[in-house]
């Protein structure tokens, strides 16, 4: 299997979650070995994707770089989009936005899957490289953890526990594949609590949040009239987030990811810990026999 880019430029416009303003997103093909490069069109600022580019993980995964004037330019909430990039196996692409966040769309990754379908996937003349986990790496915070372990399959296993009657303790296991992602994970939406949204909007954050782009909850129930898309949509969305956060490495990962109550912060720390020691991983070509089965996942 070779590296992948998109066949043609495509774009969409959506609302930014925090500013509540329209954001234009355009995807452009890039050559082999170029990687995923974000570009702030309004600042003429390129931000190559890597864990070292992450500048904040409090409410979303945020990347940034210094402008020519020495100021920090950022792009927030990249994880939903990157989960689709991960699922489609895109290696090289320019991601252009005209503001400091990605459009939130419906709070899931399905709109980004449709955009990639519209763009089409094109294989390039260079073998695809992936990160193969060689040694278990784990990050903990109390009883919360995220972990990557060696495996001949790419899997994600996530468990959450919320003191809320609708959520409670729930889990989801997912064996990586493009088609299963679209069917099982991509439509799972982000979620938030009404009491938190009210506070965030009072400090000029989450101004674009609505029941059109998130699952809203009060202390007892789901506020969305249509209800949930899956009975464990919350756990499925956490896998979506984790896939996007792992894509910050710039590569698909061959290994088993597991988490209990993980977060963007822990996921970021996991990618940093993974790459900190070459004994933890190796870069392998998907033409090698040990990863041939993984290559089939992108069909």
Q: What residues contact residue 283 under an 8 Å CB cut-off, 6+ apart?
A: 129, 130, 131, 132, 251
Q: The domain containing residue 189 runs over which residues? A: 2-296
C-alpha span between 153 and 167 (Å, rounded): 29
Residue 290 has a pLDDT of 58
The C-alpha R_g of the chain, in whole angstroms, comes to: 18
Which residue pairs from 118-121 have beta carbons closer than 8 angstroms and sit at least 24 positions apart in sequence? 118/10, 119/6, 119/7, 119/8, 119/9, 119/10, 119/27, 120/6, 120/7, 120/8, 121/4, 121/5, 121/6, 121/7, 121/88, 121/89, 121/90
Contact status, residue 59 vs residue 99, Cβ threshold 8 Å: no
Distances (CA, A) of 18 to 123, 245, 282: 36, 19, 38
Closest CA to 229 of 293, 197, 178, 183: 183
Q: What residues contact residue 138 under an 8 Å CB cut-off, 6+ apart?
A: 145, 146, 147, 148, 270
Q: State the total domains in the chain.
A: 1
C-alpha span between 65 and 94 (Å, rounded): 16
C-alpha span between 100 and 79 (Å, rounded): 14
Residue 288 has a pLDDT of 61
- What angle is formed at CA 217 by the lines to CA 257 and CA 83, rounded to 5 degrees? 30
Phi, psi of 106 (to 5 degrees): -95, 10
Would you call 164 a catalytic residue per the annotation? Answer: no
Give the strands of the sheet with 62-66, arranged side by side. Answer: 54-56, 62-66, 72-75
In tens digits, the chain (299 residues) has pLDDT values of 999 999 999 999 999 998 889 999 999 999 999 999 999 999 999 999 999 999 999 889 999 999 989 999 999 999 999 999 999 999 999 999 999 999 999 999 999 999 999 999 999 999 999 999 999 999 999 999 999 999 999 999 999 999 999 999 999 999 999 999 999 999 999 999 998 888 888 887 788 999 999 999 999 999 999 999 999 999 999 999 999 999 999 999 999 999 999 999 999 999 999 999 999 999 999 876 556 778 889 98
C-alpha span between 224 and 154 (Å, rounded): 33
C-alpha span between 44 and 96 (Å, rounded): 10
C-alpha dihedral sign at 82, 72, 22, 189: positive
Residue 91 has a pLDDT of 98
> CATH code at 256?
3.30.1700.10
Set 80, 237, 251, 264: catalytic member? 264
pTM of the full predicted structure?
0.96
Residue 47 has a pLDDT of 98
Q: Give the H or E element holding residue 62.
A: strand 62-66
């Amino acid at each position: 299997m070779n590296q992948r880019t998109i066949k043609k430029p495509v774009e969409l416009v959506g609302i930014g979650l925090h500013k509540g303003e329209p954001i234009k997103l355009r995807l452009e093909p890039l050559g082999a070995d170029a990687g995923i490069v974000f570009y702030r069109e309004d600042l003429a600022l390129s931000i190559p994707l890597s864990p070292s580019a992450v500048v904040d993980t409090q409410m979303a995964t945020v990347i940034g770089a210094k402008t020519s004037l020495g100021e920090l330019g950022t792009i927030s909430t990249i994880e939903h989009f990157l989960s689709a990039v991960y699922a489609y196996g895109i290696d090289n692409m320019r991601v252009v936005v005209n503001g400091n966040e990605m459009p939130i769309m419906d709070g899931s990754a399905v709109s980004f899957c449709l955009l990639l379908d519209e763009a089409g996937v094109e294989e390039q003349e260079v073998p695809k490289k992936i990160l193969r986990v060689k040694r278990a790496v784990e990050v903990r915070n109390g009883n919360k953890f995220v972990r990557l372990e060696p495996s001949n399959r790419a899997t994600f296993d996530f468990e959450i526990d919320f003191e809320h009657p609708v959520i409670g303790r729930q889990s989801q296991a997912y064996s990586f594949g493009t088609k299963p992602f679209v069917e099982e994970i991509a439509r799972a939406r982000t979620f938030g609590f009404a009491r938190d949204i009210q506070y965030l909007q009072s400090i000029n954050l989450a101004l674009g949040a609505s029941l059109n782009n998130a699952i809203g909850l009060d202390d007892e129930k789901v506020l969305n009239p249509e209800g949930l898309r899956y009975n464990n949509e919350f756990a499925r969305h956490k896998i979506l987030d984790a896939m996007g956060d792992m894509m910050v490495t710039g590569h698909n990962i061959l290994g088993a990811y597991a988490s209990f109550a993980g977060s963007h912060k822990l996921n970021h720390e996991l990618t940093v810990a993974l790459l900190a020691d070459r004994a933890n991983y190796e870069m392998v070509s998907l033409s090698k026999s040990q990863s041939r089965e993984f290559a089939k996942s992108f069909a």
